[in-house]
Amino acid sequence: MTSATAITSDPLSAEAVLRAVEGPGAGAVTTFVGLVRDHNVGRKVLWLDYEAYAPLAEKALGIIIAEAEARWTGARMAIHHRTGRLEIGEASVVIAVATPHRADAFAACRYAIERIKQIVPIWKHEHFEGGEVWIEGATADANDEAAREAALKIACA
Amino acid sequence: MRVNVKLFARLRELVGQGELTLDVPGATTVADVWAALVAAHPAAEAYARSMSCAVNLNYARMTTPVADGDEVAFLPPVSGGSGAAVR
């Protein structure tokens, strides 16, 4: 049985994440795979380095899974996030969600990726042609209810 | 009182180390630890308005109490997942 959460420097396996959510009650499974892209705001990206506060990041993934499983009845979710140097085309994050009905599987999956960007203590160091830059997004606070509501709104749009 | 401070990403680079022990006499909250960090490493000040924090692996606020031996982490704005965050 694959673990529901992982922060790992090993290459991610979408199949392993899928196995973590399988079960007889599932009527639909969605997966999301985030990839390293070769361009960002006009820059030619060479590679990315992901740094994590690993123990809190893994805990944050667990918080997101608990939020989703509470919101969507019968949902089972797993999330693995990679750290270290990633080349173009490699997977940085894999999410799998199994639910009794398909609409919930899509919504819960979208919710998870938005929440990851909001609260999980992982930082992307972009190495591009001509330099490098730390990418900074949201101020991470798992107890910020407004952020959680915003993620829910996007998921259910 | 001594606390273990953890820093990440650009904040780690500005301070020059990812882990340090700070002696903060009379500290009672995360805000006191932050003030001591900035006093010792003024470059950290750049994150005064954008960082968040955690105490012993729990998301915290600047008003969260701290005790001797606690692990206090200061987190620059995060950027996990892939692509840009939807605002």
Q: What is the ipTM of this complex?
A: 0.94
A72, A63 Cβ separation under 8 angstroms: no
Taking residues A19-27, report their average pLDDT: 96
Supply A47's token pair: 């590679």
Is A40 a residue whose pLDDT tops 80?
Answer: yes
Is B74 a residue whose pLDDT tops 60?
Answer: yes
Looking at the complex, report in whole angstroms how far the Cα of residue A137 sits from the nearest Cα belonging to chain B: 5
pLDDT band at B83 (very low <50, low <70, confident <90, very high): low
Whether residue B85 lies inside any domain: the answer is: no
Contact criterion met (CB < 8 Å) for B77 and A141: no
Share of chain B above pLDDT 70, in %: 94
CB pairs under 8 A between A and B: 107
Chain B positions touching A138 (Cβ under 8 A) are 77-78, 85
**pLDDT tens digits for B47-70?**
999 999 999 999 999 999 999 999
SS3 (DSSP) at A113: helix
Burial class (CB in 10 A: 0-12, 13-18, 19+), A61: buried
Whether residue B17 lies inside any domain: the answer is: yes
Whether residue B19 lies inside any domain: the answer is: yes
Looking at CATH, the fold of the domain delimited by A5-155 is given as Aldehyde Oxidoreductase; domain 3 (3.90.1170)
d(CA B14, CA B7): 10
Pure H helices in chain A: 14-19, 54-71, 102-119, 145-155
Chain B positions touching A81 (Cβ under 8 A) are 80-81
Judged by CB atoms within 8 Å, which residues 24-83 of A form the interface with B?
Answer: 34-37, 50-53, 55-57, 59, 81
Residue of B61, B79, B86, B87 for testing the chain A interface, max A β-carbons within 10 Å:
B79
Looking at the complex, report in whole angstroms how far the Cα of residue A112 sits from the nearest Cα belonging to chain B: 10
Whether residue B49 lies inside any domain: the answer is: yes
Supply B25's token pair: 């006499």
**pLDDT tens digits for A47-67?**
999 999 999 999 999 999 999
Contact criterion met (CB < 8 Å) for A37 and B83: yes
CATH number of the domain to which B30 belongs: 3.10.20.30
SS3 (DSSP) at A41: coil
Looking at the complex, report in whole angstroms how far the Cα of residue A142 sits from the nearest Cα belonging to chain B: 6
Whether residue B68 lies inside any domain: the answer is: yes
Average predicted confidence (pLDDT) for chain A: 96
**pLDDT tens digits for A69-124?**
999 999 999 999 999 999 999 999 999 999 999 999 999 999 999 999 999 999 99
Of A113, A120, A123, the CB nearest to B76: A123
Q: How many domains does chain B have?
A: 1
For chain A, domain boundaries: 5-155
Domain containing B28: what range?
Answer: 2-75
pLDDT for the residue B49:
94
